[in-house]
Structure formats: C-alpha cells, structure tokens
Structure 1
C-alpha cells in the first residue's frame, strides 16, 4: 500500500465553499467508480479555511498517469472535474492547469 498527500485551495467565498462541501456529501457514482477502479483504496479530504488536504491510500501498482488516462476517457468524471473547478483554485507554485498538488512528507513518527 502507498499513501499520497495532496493539497488544493478553494475560492475564498463562503457560499461556494458550502456548495463544494454539499457536492462531496453525495459524490456522483461514476466518480466513485473511477476512484475505486484506479487502485485508490482509501481517500479522505480535510478543509481548513480555503485549504484542502487529501490523503489517498492506494495499491502498490497505482499510478497518477494511469488514473489521468482513465479520467480523460470518462465523460462523467470530466464533467465533475469541470464543475469542481468552479470552486477550486491552484495553490501557489502549482503548474498551469494543475489542481491537486502532491505534498512532500517532512516528518514521520
């Protein structure tokens, strides 16, 4: 099993943040199927103010490249991603078009 931690910011608008959280209480089944079918076995998203923090646990053979290729061919996932971009904004230092940015682990106990 592998663990990845990623970050992303939301737009600083309380009504948009509330909408974003409401969508995540009932994520579309096609999006959940895509997540489950890609080798992701656990996922949690936390929020502090506008900052999001995602923890993903995956199978050892999971790859971001394969997940991106699967998503590119999935109309409903693309629709979800486009909708979510209404609420999201890149963190400082993100590459153009990059959403979730992989974080570096700096400590472990």
Structure 2
C-alpha cells in the first residue's frame, strides 16, 4: 500500500466551508465508487481554517493518470467536481486548473 498526501484551499467563507463539510458527510455513492474503483483503499480529508489536507492510501493498481482518465469520462464525477469548485480555490503555487496538489514527504519516524 502506498500513501499520498495532498493539499487544497477552500474559499475563506465560514458559510461555504460549512456547506462543503455537509457535502462530505454524505458523499454521493457514485463518487465513493469512483474512488474505490481507481484503487484508493483509504481516503481522509482534514481541515485547518480554509486549508484542506488529504491522505490517500492506494493499492498497487492505482495511478493518478488512470484516476484522471476515469474521472474525465464519468459524468457524475464531473458534476461533483464542478459543484465542489464553488467551495475550493487553488493553492497560490498551483498552475491554471490545478486543484489538489501532491505534497512531498520531508520527514518520517
């Protein structure tokens, strides 16, 4: 199992943050299926202020490229992503259209 950590910001508005969290208490079943179908075994999202931190543990079949291709061809995932973009904002160092950004591990005990 491999672990990836990613970061993204939310729009810094308490009302929008509350709505975003409400959606994540009841994620659409099609979205959950798309995540597990891609080889994600564990996914957790944490929040501090408007900063999000995602932990993904994936199996040996997972690749970001394959997940991206699957998502691009899944209308329900595209609907979810478009809806979530109302609440999300790119990190300052993100390229155009880039959302969740992969973090580098700098320490392990």
Q: Into which bin does the TM-score normalised by the smaller protein fall?
A: over 0.9
Q: What number of residue pairs does the alignment pair up? A: 109
Matched, 1:30 2:30: yes
Which whole-Å CA distance do the structure 1 matches of 2:40 and 2:96 have between them? 25
CA distance in 2, matches of 1:102, 1:61: 18
**Structure 1 counterpart SS, 2:81:** helix
CA RMSD of aligned residues (A): 0.5
Query: Taking structure 2 as the reference length, what is the TM-score of the superposition?
Result: 0.99
Which segment drifts farther, 1-10 or 60-69? 60-69
Unaligned 5+ runs, structure 1: none
2: CA distance, partners of 1:22 / 1:64: 26
Regions of 4+ moved over 6 Å: none
Unaligned runs of 5+ in 2: none
Q: Give the corresponding residue for 2:65.
A: 65
